[in-house]
């Protein structure tokens, strides 16, 4: 019954127009407890692939399944977009609570003491206790990334999709964020799929590295995944 | 170079050898504006039977100002003869028709802005395309458009027929108009919320309540509050008009003295309205400046009410 894969993509084409799909005939599987980095030239469709897995863009063709179902259930999937997707005018607490609510309450009754508890724990794990009431717009770029990480940690999803979530972070913050997320993935046996432009960083964090090129930029390539590196 | 990578702009540059095309390309905006002006002149000419009427306008204006408007009759800020004023002498201006009218108009504007906002906010949350499917958002937009399609003075006539003369008709009329007008501003602010927080919320599986109250309202709160303050200012300005049809406020007195052709009293009311509007305008800019992002806007000054923004920057001490 249940597939061993958390995400399974079969014969899929993705993009915004049937005439010019960004990527076509892709077959990919992501297993439990795995950290996968996706790298490739810009404009190739890495972000669109992530957004399609997240259910934000419908696939043009083929099938996408998450935990054996067509789409993720509430709270099952944590998504950190390139621009982090934080509510800029709301506080750190508010933003992290949004993650906790998705993971631990019902959509029509989004109140629970457990969610509040998890929110406080997640904020303190990324070291932002002293900024708990500060609006996001007053935080530095690095602090905002820590909030986005805390939001996902408070949610406790079984699949995390992160789009260049390390950005241009300083070494110290990058190590902290990376450590928190990888620890969570290892402990909870969940899956992390991360789009990363810096290949050396991608190799460092991931169990598996997918390098993409669909032949548009290199006419001799026939498969969208040109290289798959497994540690 | 493969042709499919050519953008429209590239293609048009390839046509630049053609002199007619190149003339059109360089002067197209000028030609379009000239065409619009020419069309407006033709249409106006068709509607005006004699342009000679304009010649007498200036002279008529001078006679009107000289004989009827000036000097303004400031008895409107003196206490009314009946009912007898019981206020101490220092405060007896509060028994004047001007004070009573202005305060009543302010009350109507305030109450109808609050009621209007309470009703328009949920409606605009349902009308926003980024939160709801078409079958929910379009009926809500229809309701908002319907209540906005009639100006508040027509709603005032309607409610005067329903509930009789007085401020209640004014409150109902302005509330209905506020729902439509403010609702439109609100759903546009909601649709202007950046995509990433909504994407993250959708991916996490948030329900409509969490998305609306957790993401949309906090993210657009500044815009929503600023629009509500603007709406109060707008309602005060329009509140002066609805009194003309008997829906309360200072417009009632203006209408009264217009009927008796006492234009010197009318001009006194208009001067008072002008001053109050300037005052509210200033307070509105000041209040709204607290709800915009820091650094984007500086606190307004008095001259900001009168002058364009570019001149204010020049006048500011460095």
Q: Which residue of B has its CA nearest to A82?
A: B196
pLDDT above 60 (res B302): no
Q: Which of B203, B209, B219 lies closest to A79 in CB terms?
A: B203
Helix runs in chain B, H state only: 8-14, 19-47, 53-64, 97-127, 134-149, 152-163, 167-191, 195-204, 208-210, 217-242, 250-259, 263-289, 309-315
All residues of chain B having their beta carbon less than 8 Å from the beta carbon of residue A55 are 202-203
Instruction: State the total domains in chain B.
Output: 1
CATH number at residue B258: 1.10.3720.10
Q: What is the tens place of the pLDDT at every residue in B131-157?
A: 888 999 999 999 999 998 888 888 888
Interface of B with A in 265-304 (CB under 8 A): 293
Which DSSP symbol is given to A4?
S
Distance CA(B187)–CA(B130), nearest Å, equals 10
The candidate with the shortest Cα–Cα distance to B126, out of B113, B111, B136, B112, is: B136
Task: Give residue B7's pLDDT band: very low, low, confident or very high (50, 70, 90).
Answer: low
Domains assigned to chain A: 1-76+158-231 (3.40.50.300), 87-156 (no CATH)
**Residue B176: what pLDDT?**
92
Distance CA(B235)–CA(B111), nearest Å, equals 10
**Residue B111: what pLDDT?**
93
Look-up of token digits 């508010």: A94
| Inter-chain touch A89–B196, beta carbons under 8 Å | no
The candidate with the shortest Cα–Cα distance to B243, out of B76, B103, B38, is: B103
- Residue-number span of the structural domain to which B246 is assigned: 103-294
Task: Give residue A15's pLDDT band: very low, low, confident or very high (50, 70, 90).
Answer: confident
* pTM as predicted: 0.75
| Inter-chain touch B204–A98, beta carbons under 8 Å | yes
pLDDT above 70 (res A177): yes
Q: Which of A79, A87, A108 lies closest to B204 in CB terms?
A: A79
The candidate with the shortest Cα–Cα distance to B232, out of B275, B285, B291, is: B285
| Inter-chain touch A98–B199, beta carbons under 8 Å | no
All residues of chain B having their beta carbon less than 8 Å from the beta carbon of residue A155 are 204
pLDDT above 70 (res A103): yes
Q: What is the tens place of the pLDDT at every residue in A30-54?
A: 888 888 888 887 778 888 888 999 8
The candidate with the shortest Cα–Cα distance to B282, out of B299, B298, B303, B305, is: B305
- Residues A93, A150 contacting (CB under 8 angstroms): no
Q: Would you say residue B217 lies in a domain?
A: yes
pLDDT above 80 (res B47): yes
Task: Report, as an integer, the average pLDDT of A188-197.
Answer: 88
Burial class for A133, CB neighbours closer than 10 Å (0-12, 13-18, 19+)? exposed
Task: Report, as an integer, the average pLDDT of A9-38.
Answer: 83
pLDDT above 80 (res B292): no
Q: Would you say residue B197 lies in a domain?
A: yes
Q: Would you say residue B45 lies in a domain?
A: no
ipTM for the predicted complex comes to 0.87
Residues A179, A181, A187, A188, Cα dihedral to 10° = 180
- Residues A185, A104 contacting (CB under 8 angstroms): no
Q: What is the tens place of the pLDDT at every residue in A51-73?
A: 999 888 888 888 888 887 887 78
**Residue A96: what pLDDT?**
93
Q: Would you say residue B96 lies in a domain?
A: no
The SS3 assignment for A29 reads strand
All residues of chain A having their beta carbon less than 8 Å from the beta carbon of residue B204 are 74-75, 77-79, 98-99, 102-103, 155, 157
Task: Report, as an integer, the average pLDDT of B3-22.
Answer: 60
């Amino acid at each position: 019954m249940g597939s061993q894969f958390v995400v399974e993509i079969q014969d899929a084409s993705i993009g915004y127009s049937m005439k010019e799909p960004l990527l076509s005939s892709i077959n990919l599987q992501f297993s439990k407890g795995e950290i996968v980095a996706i790298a490739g030239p810009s404009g190739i469709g890495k972000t669109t692939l992530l957004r399609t897995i997240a259910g934000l863009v419908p696939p043009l063709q083929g099938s996408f399944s998450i935990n054996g179902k067509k789409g993720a259930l509430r709270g099952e999937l944590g998504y950190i977009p390139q621009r982090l997707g934080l509510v800029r005018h709301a506080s750190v607490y508010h933003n992290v609570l949004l993650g906790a609510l998705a993971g631990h309450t019902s959509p029509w009754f989004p109140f629970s003491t457990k969610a509040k508890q998890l929110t406080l724990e997640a904020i303190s794990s990324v070291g932002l206790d002293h900024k708990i009431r500060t609006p996001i717009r007053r935080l530095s770029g690095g602090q905002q990334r820590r909030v986005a990480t805390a939001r996902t940690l408070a949610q406790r999803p079984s699949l995390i999709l992160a789009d260049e979530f390390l950005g241009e972070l300083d070494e110290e913050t990058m190590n902290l964020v990376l450590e928190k997320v990888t620890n969570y993935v290892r402990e909870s046996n969940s899956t992390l799929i991360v789009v990363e432009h810096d290949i050396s960083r991608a190799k460092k964090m991931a169990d598996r590295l997918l390098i993409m090129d669909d032949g548009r930029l290199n006419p001799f390539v026939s498969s969208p995944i040109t290289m798959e590196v497994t540690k | 170079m493969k042709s499919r990578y050519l953008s429209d702009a590239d293609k048009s540059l390839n046509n630049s050898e053609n002199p007619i095309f190149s003339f059109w390309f360089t002067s197209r905006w000028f030609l379009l504006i000239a065409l619009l002006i020419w069309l407006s002149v033709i249409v106006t000419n068709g509607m005006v039977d004699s342009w000679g009427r304009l010649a007498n306008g200036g002279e008529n204006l001078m006679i009107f100002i000289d004989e009827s408007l000036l000097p303004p009759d400031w008895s409107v800020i003196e206490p009314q003869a009946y009912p007898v004023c019981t206020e101490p002498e220092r405060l007896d201006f509060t028994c004047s028709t001007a004070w009573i009218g202005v305060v009543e108009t302010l009350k109507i504007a305030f109450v109808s802005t609050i009621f209007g906002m309470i009703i328009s906010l949920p409606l605009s949350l349902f009308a926003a395309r980024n939160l709801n499917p078409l079958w929910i958002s379009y009926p809500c937009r229809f309701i908002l458009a319907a209540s906005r399609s009639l100006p508040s003075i027509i709603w005032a006539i309607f409610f005067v027929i329903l509930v009789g003369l007085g401020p209640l008709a004014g409150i109902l009329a302005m509330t209905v108009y506020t729902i439509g007008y403010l609702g439109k501003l609100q759903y546009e602010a909601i649709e202007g919320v950046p995509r990433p927080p909504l994407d993250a919320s959708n991916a996490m599986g948030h329900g409509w309540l969490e998305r609306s109250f957790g993401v949309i309202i906090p993210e657009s709160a500044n815009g929503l509050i600023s629009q509500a303050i603007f709406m109060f200012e707008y309602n005060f300005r329009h509140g002066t008009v609805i009194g003309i049809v008997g829906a309360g406020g200072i417009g009632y007195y203006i209408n009264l003295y217009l009927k008796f052709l006492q234009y010197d009293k009318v001009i006194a009311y208009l001067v008072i309205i002008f001053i109050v509007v300037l005052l509210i305008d200033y307070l509105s800019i000041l209040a709204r400046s607290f709800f915009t992002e820091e650094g984007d806007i500086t606190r307004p000054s008095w001259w900001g009410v009168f002058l364009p923004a570019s001149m204010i920057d020049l006048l500011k001490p460095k």
